[in-house]
Structures are given as C-alpha cells and as structure tokens.
Amino acid sequence: MWSFFHRLASPKHFYQFAGRLIPWLGWSTLVLFIIGIYLGLFVAPTDYQQGESYRIIYIHVPAAWMSMFVYMVMAISGGIGLIWKMKMADVVASSAAPLGAAFTILALVTGSLWGKPMWGTWWIWDARLTSELILLFLYLGFIALQSAIEDRRTAANACAVLALVGVVNIPIIHYSVEWWNTLHQGATVTRFDKPAMATSMLIPLLTMFLAFKLYFGLTLLMRARVEILERERDTTWMKEMITESGK
Amino acid sequence: MSEFFHMGGYALYVWLSYGLALVILVVNIIIPMQRRKKHIAMIKRRLRRTPAEK
C-alpha cells in the first residue's frame, strides 16, 4: 500500500497511472451526469414554494461544494509540497487552482441566476455571497502569483503559503449562513439530523455531487499529466516514452 | 415537451444555469487535451532536431 503511494510521488509513475485511470473516470463521470440530470430535470418533483426554478440547485449546490473541496485539496497539497518538497504535490496544487476557480464561477453565476427570480436581485453583499466571491479572488490570486514568479520552486512555495492562509475563508463560507443574518438559506443537507429535503429531490442532488466529484478527479489528472509533460520534457524517461509510443 | 422547456416560467434562469455548466465542464476537458497534444508535438520536434543525444 505504502509503496504504491511512494511510486505515485514519482512523476513517471503518476503519469502512467493517471493515463490508465482517465478513460474509466471519464466514462463513469459521463454516466453519472446523465443519470443525475435525468433525475434532476425529469424525475424530481416541482417544489411547492419555488416551482421549477429550484432545479438550479442540481448545478449550484454541487458546484459550491466543489469550490470549497477543491480549495482544500489545493491547500493541503500545497502544504505537503512546502514541507516535504514533493514535486507531485506542487503539480496537483497548481492543477487544482483553475478547476476550483471554474467551480466557484459556476456557483456564483448559477446563484445569481437563482437569486434573481427568488430574491428579486442578482447580487447582494451578504456574508455567504461575499465570502464565496473572496474564494474566487483567492483562486485567481494563486494563479496570478504562480505565473508572476519565474522560478518554479519559489512560485510553488509562495502559492502554497497563500493557499494555506486562505483556508481561514472556508469555515467562514460554510458557517456564514449561521453566523450572520443573510438572504441565503441555511444548510439543508449537511446537518446533524436528517436532511431537510425530500428523498426524491435529494437523490438527484447526491448523484450530481458524485458526478462533480468524479469530474474533478478526471480533470485534475488530465491537467496534472499536461503539467508533468511540461516539467519533465527534458528527462530521459519522457523522451523514451514519446519515442516508443510514436504519438 | 414545450411545457418542459418552459420550466414553469423560469426557463431563462434554469437553462442559462445548465447551459453555463455544460460550457464550463466541456471547456475544462478540451483545454488539457489540446495542451497535451501541443506539448507532445513540441517534445517530438525537439527529439528530431537532436536524434543522437540520449
């Protein structure tokens, strides 16, 4: 088990392992999205308060959950890279950043599209929305900082520190709906008692969540492989692999 | 069917959300695929230029 993880720390093995995993992940992600969207749009009943508009939940909530989850992945792998100087940790952190930014943008825009018909406004500076916007700026800051520093080692360290400091924002986002009075509704799923949501609406949501999770795994591996190609292009194993495969 | 696309009057908001999700999810699949092709082509070009070096 441990030797498996040790080998994953080597770019060569990671590259090959990811290459084998990607087709499986790709097809299961696609199947889960099809099931989730089918359940969410056709099977789940109409909401008695919000009508059909609530169906935005099946995009908005998984995207918002992922925006925080990806941030934790980015910060933790950044931290691992900072402490143990692991090459692959930096690769994972920098591959996660643009994906996290994409999930955050999706959560913000779908939230806006949901807010307009339900709250009567596209945007309001309340705690939940503002802290999620700060999350987007943290991702963009990470990406900008990385491209601004020439030396790869220095860039990775600076970005890891930024990511770790920004972790403080994650509990703020999560608890914002409890700590402050906000227009945004409270948690419906992640509560200690049972979720305040009908099962017929919850199952599509959890399916979409799983689809988003696998999608992140898939795109993270794809991006990490490109990153390895770029960083390791002068190594012997890379040259041999590309010569042998002929493609 | 048209009732389905109508989304109880919320068609604009619901379909814009799903449409944006589709665009963002597909774009993030295409970007690494294209970058991968570009990098492999570049490594191959460099290998052709210096074939003896190993």
Reported as type and span, the H/E element at residue A78 is helix A57-84
The tokens describing A71, both together, are: 């941030």
Cβ-based contacts of A56 with chain B (< 8 Å): 13-14, 17
Which segments of A121-235 does DSSP mark as H helices, in order? Answer: 127-148, 152-166, 169-179, 199-231
Cα separation, A84 vs B36, whole angstroms: 28
Domain-located, residue B33: yes
pTM equals 0.91
Cα separation, A90 vs B1, whole angstroms: 49
Q: Report ipTM (2 d.p.).
A: 0.88
Domain-located, residue B54: no
State whether B14 and A53 contact (CB < 8 Å).
yes
Question: For residues A156 and A47, which has the higher predicted lDDT (pLDDT)?
Answer: A156
Name which of A205, A52, A69 is nearest A135 in CA terms.
A69
Of B10, B36, B54, the CB nearest to A51: B10
Q: Could you tell me the pLDDT band of residue A96, with boundaries at 50, 70 and 90? A: very high
- What is the average pLDDT across A218-244? 91
Range of the domain at B18: 2-49
Least Cα separation, residue A171 to chain B (angstroms): 25
The three-class DSSP label of residue A16 is helix
Least Cα separation, residue A7 to chain B (angstroms): 23
C-beta pairs of B14-20 under 8 Å, 24+ apart in sequence: B14/A52, B14/A53, B14/A55, B14/A56, B16/A113, B17/A56, B17/A59, B17/A60, B17/A109, B17/A110, B17/A113, B17/A114, B18/A37, B18/A59, B20/A59, B20/A106, B20/A109, B20/A110
Domain-located, residue B20: yes
Q: Which of A1-10, A83-92, A166-175, A237-246 has the lowest mean pLDDT?
A: A1-10
Q: Could you tell me the pLDDT band of residue B21, with boundaries at 50, 70 and 90? A: very high
The tokens describing A198, both together, are: 């009908």
Reported as type and span, the H/E element at residue A75 is helix A57-84
The pLDDT, as a whole number, for residue A46 is 84
Q: Could you tell me the pLDDT band of residue A135, with boundaries at 50, 70 and 90? A: very high
Specify the residue for token string 């080692």. Answer: A153
Name which of A58, A43, A187 is nearest A113 in CA terms.
A58
Asked if pLDDT for residue B54 goes beyond 50, the answer is no
Q: Which of A41-45, A65-69, A76-80 has the lowest mean pLDDT?
A: A41-45
Interface probe, candidates B5, B6, B14, chain A, greatest A C-beta count within 10 A: B14
The pLDDT, as a whole number, for residue A195 is 66
Name which of B36, B53, B45, B49 is nearest A230 in CA terms.
B36
Asked if pLDDT for residue A28 goes beyond 90, the answer is yes
* Alpha-carbon dihedral sign for residues B31, B36, B41, B42: positive
Of B28, B39, B42, the CB nearest to A102: B28
